[in-house]
Amino acid sequence: MQGMSERQYAAHVGLSRGAIQKAKTAERLVLYPDGSINAAASDARRAETTDPSKTRKPPAPKLKPVPEAAVAAVGDTLREQGLAVPAVGGGTTFLQAKTANEVLKAQERRIRLQKLKGELIERARALALVFRLAREERDAWVNWPARAAALMAADLGVEPAAMQKVLEKHVRAHLDELAEVRPDFR
């Protein structure tokens, strides 16, 4: 066999075997004496005899637009890991997006594992614990002047009621300053 079979030529040009048989019948292909297809000569003849307006063009792939938030998240993830981040408006490559996705999946697995081990707790639980501890600390300080004023007054030789009043005033002022500090769990 000198040239290609119908199947081989169909695969070569990206057409069906039936289309090649029709082209062969219409004498748009160049054949060797043994009936095999001369690929180079047939390609040239098909190009000359085929009307370009009647050829099927493969449809362009329909790409969905990527939201800016997703692109920004990819950039943030890459930046957090010390990897190269595309310039603004430069576009994110598929490889960068895939890398960011893999990094996020690894981070998610690590967090899930830390939760299972008891190394991580929920934010609401942490807030409740901090609030409870702060309240207990505040209550201890509010009650302290009443307990300590008499002892301090005896050491200094002053009136216990006056000493308690002064201590309460300063403790409350200090607690008011501390109340302005807000924990940030972000």
pLDDT of 147-180, one tens digit each? 899 999 999 999 999 999 999 999 999 988 888 8
Indicate the pLDDT class of residue 90, thresholds 50, 70 and 90. Answer: low
Q: Which residue has the higher pLDDT, 141 or 1?
A: 141
pLDDT at 63: 66
Is residue 97 over pLDDT 80?
Answer: no
pLDDT at 121: 83
Tens-digit pLDDT profile for residues 21-57: 998 998 889 999 998 999 999 999 988 887 777 776 6
Map tokens 């005033």 to a residue: 169
Neighbours of 149 (CB within 10 A): 21
Indicate the pLDDT class of residue 11, thresholds 50, 70 and 90. Answer: very high
Report the C-alpha gap between 30 and 24 in whole angstroms. 8
Q: Which residue has the higher pLDDT, 186 or 47?
A: 47
Report the C-alpha gap between 156 and 158 in whole angstroms. 6
Mean pLDDT rounded to a whole number for the chain: 84
Indicate the pLDDT class of residue 10, thresholds 50, 70 and 90. Answer: very high
Q: Which tokens hold the place of 50?
A: 């085929």
Is residue 58 over pLDDT 70?
Answer: no
Is 165:150 a contact under the CB 8 Å cutoff?
no
Indicate the pLDDT class of residue 89, thresholds 50, 70 and 90. Answer: low
18 closest CA partner among 27, 29, 6: 6
63 closest CA partner among 90, 91, 87, 99: 91
Q: What is the mean pLDDT of residues 130-134?
A: 89
Q: Which residue has the higher pLDDT, 92 or 89?
A: 92
Q: How many CA atoms lie within 13 A of 98 on its CB side?
A: 3
